[in-house]
Amino acid sequence: MIPFKVTDGIDCFRAIDWDRELFDELVPLPEGTTYNAYLVTGSDKTALIDTVYPPKTDEFIAALRRAGVRRIDYIVANHAEQDHSGSIPAVLELFPDARVVTNAKCKRFIMDTLPVARDAFITVGEGHSLPLGGRTLQFLMTPWVHWPDTMTTCVPEAKIAFTCDFLGAHLATTEAFADDEARVETAAKRYYAEIMMPYRGFSREAVDKVGALDLDFIAPSHGPVYARPSFILDLYRAWTADEPKPYVVIPYVSMYESTARMVAYLTDRLIERGLGVRPINVVGLDTGDYAMSLVDASTIVFASPTVLSGPHPDVAYAALLANVLNPKAKYAAVVGSFGWEGNLPEIVRDMLPKLGARFFEPVMVKGLPREAAFADLDRLADDIAAAHAAG
């Protein structure tokens, strides 16, 4: 771990996790990730903002020693998830007089999960500040980006905001700053879709709050530092906006070609009507790729054969994810096939109570789709196009 200077008096200790493939045993990490801790050095006090993932603790402590860090007065915990808080006990062992600075919720979570004593904490709230000498820590509560405990710490003198998970990206890189904006945008969008989209309204509020600050840097605890804050703030403004794009996502599975033929036919009809379409075969689904496709989609069409009277389990999983990821889609539909029984459309629809979408008439065929089924798909494409035209 080689620390780098962000700006005067602020250094980043970044643990790069090149090999991690899955976060929380759920989220794929095609480009690995980083865990960033920041050292803020004032003339009187020194603060550490966040720590690192427990398996990286030894590396982190060795880097602090190697850098000659002699004192840490405050360990600011912006968020209790252990990829940021997990090394707090080891830092306290090295600097026993340090106090853990965080909000009441985060304190509770840390005490629930880590061996940190109650009297080790200083509890802060919205707008509170701590002087370091020439540098001031200011705290903004930004809940639900990612957990209810999340907060942002700013140093106004350095025009920097430490946003922890918020605005971050799972991207293992040696680049200190987000200079390769195209690459960072893709990683940040994947991260937003997986982690932040379920709390989209809170992300929008946090963007407003952080966006109102006079900033030269945004320093998240995953991925590179933004030396052009408007880059990531503008992306978040677009992703969190309520208005979707004319874009249809079709998560599908096909066992004997019936559903695949319906998906291919519907895709062409939607393209003819001027809509963007993304069919996604959800067998072996990359959940991050799927989540990204949902960020701007206006319509989701679930397409499945009937399996044991209901949707194929992989389509059911795609529906479950769409329900919890809280995309901005306004419209939905179910298409598929069956052999002898089943009420697939109702089952899928019942799996999506939080989506809040208007459902179009489903299209179900017995066996292979024929003329009547294709006519129904024409009608569905017309319905989707008309809904878009009407706004």
Contact positions vs ligand FEO (CB under 6 A)? 79, 81, 83-84, 146, 165, 222
Give, in order, the Cα–Cα distances in Å from 87 to each of 34, 68, 73, 83, 311.
Answer: 14, 18, 16, 8, 44
State both tokens at 276. Answer: 């963007």
Q: Say which residue the tokens 């710490």 belong to.
A: 153
- Name the strand (E) or helix (H) holding 186: helix 181-191
Task: Using the minimum distance from each CB to ligand FEO, give the nearer residue, 79 or 190.
Answer: 79
Bridge partners of 109, per DSSP, are none
State both tokens at 29. Answer: 């990490």
Task: Using the minimum distance from each CB to ligand FEO, give the nearer residue, 222 or 328.
Answer: 222
Q: Please report how close the Cβ of residue 81 comes to ligand FEO at its closest, in angstroms.
A: 4
Q: Please report how close the Cβ of residue 85 comes to ligand FEO at its closest, in angstroms.
A: 9
Q: Please report how close the Cβ of residue 91 comes to ligand FEO at its closest, in angstroms.
A: 17
Task: Using the minimum distance from each CB to ligand FEO, give the nearer residue, 26 or 212.
Answer: 26
Task: Using the minimum distance from each CB to ligand FEO, give the nearer residue, 165 or 296.
Answer: 165
Task: Using the minimum distance from each CB to ligand FEO, give the nearer residue, 200 or 388.
Answer: 200
The C-alpha angle 86, 89, 92, rounded to 5 degrees, equals 135
Task: Using the minimum distance from each CB to ligand FEO, give the nearer residue, 20 or 79.
Answer: 79
Q: Please report how close the Cβ of residue 79 comes to ligand FEO at its closest, in angstroms.
A: 6
Task: Using the minimum distance from each CB to ligand FEO, give the nearer residue, 81 or 376.
Answer: 81
Residues 248, 189: contact at Cβ < 8 Å? no
Q: Please report how close the Cβ of residue 168 comes to ligand FEO at its closest, in angstroms.
A: 7
What is the rounded distance in angstroms from the CA atom of residue 356 to the CA atom of residue 324? 11
Secondary structure (DSSP) of 64-108 = HHHTT-----EEE-S--SHHHHTTHHHHHHHSTT-EEEE-HHHHH
Residues 158, 9: contact at Cβ < 8 Å? yes
Q: Please report how close the Cβ of residue 222 comes to ligand FEO at its closest, in angstroms.
A: 6
State both tokens at 156. Answer: 């106004």
Task: Using the minimum distance from each CB to ligand FEO, give the nearer residue, 165 or 376.
Answer: 165
Q: Say which residue the tokens 């798909």 belong to.
A: 377
Cα 94 from chain centroid (whole Å): 33
Q: Please report how close the Cβ of residue 185 comes to ligand FEO at its closest, in angstroms.
A: 19
Q: Please report how close the Cβ of residue 147 comes to ligand FEO at its closest, in angstroms.
A: 6
Task: Using the minimum distance from each CB to ligand FEO, give the nearer residue, 20 or 99.
Answer: 20
Q: What are the counts of helices (DSSP H) followed by strands (DSSP E) for the chain?
A: 12, 21
Task: Using the minimum distance from each CB to ligand FEO, give the nearer residue, 23 or 74.
Answer: 23
Question: Which residue minimizes CB distance to ligand FEO?
Answer: 81
Q: Please report how close the Cβ of residue 31 comes to ligand FEO at its closest, in angstroms.
A: 15
Q: Please report how close the Cβ of residue 36 comes to ligand FEO at its closest, in angstroms.
A: 10
Q: Please report how close the Cβ of residue 78 comes to ligand FEO at its closest, in angstroms.
A: 9
- For 135-143, which contacts have Cβ atoms below 8 Å and span 24 or more sequence positions? 135/9, 135/40, 135/41, 135/42, 137/40, 137/47, 137/74, 137/76, 137/101, 139/101, 139/103, 140/209, 140/210, 141/103, 142/166, 142/202, 142/205, 142/206, 142/209, 142/210, 143/105, 143/202
Contacts of 186 (CB under 8 A, 6+ apart): none
Measured from the Cβ of residue 38, the count of other Cβ atoms closer than 10 Å reads 23
Task: Using the minimum distance from each CB to ligand FEO, give the nearer residue, 148 or 313.
Answer: 148
Greatest C-alpha distance within the chain: 79
Bridge partners of 152, per DSSP, are 140
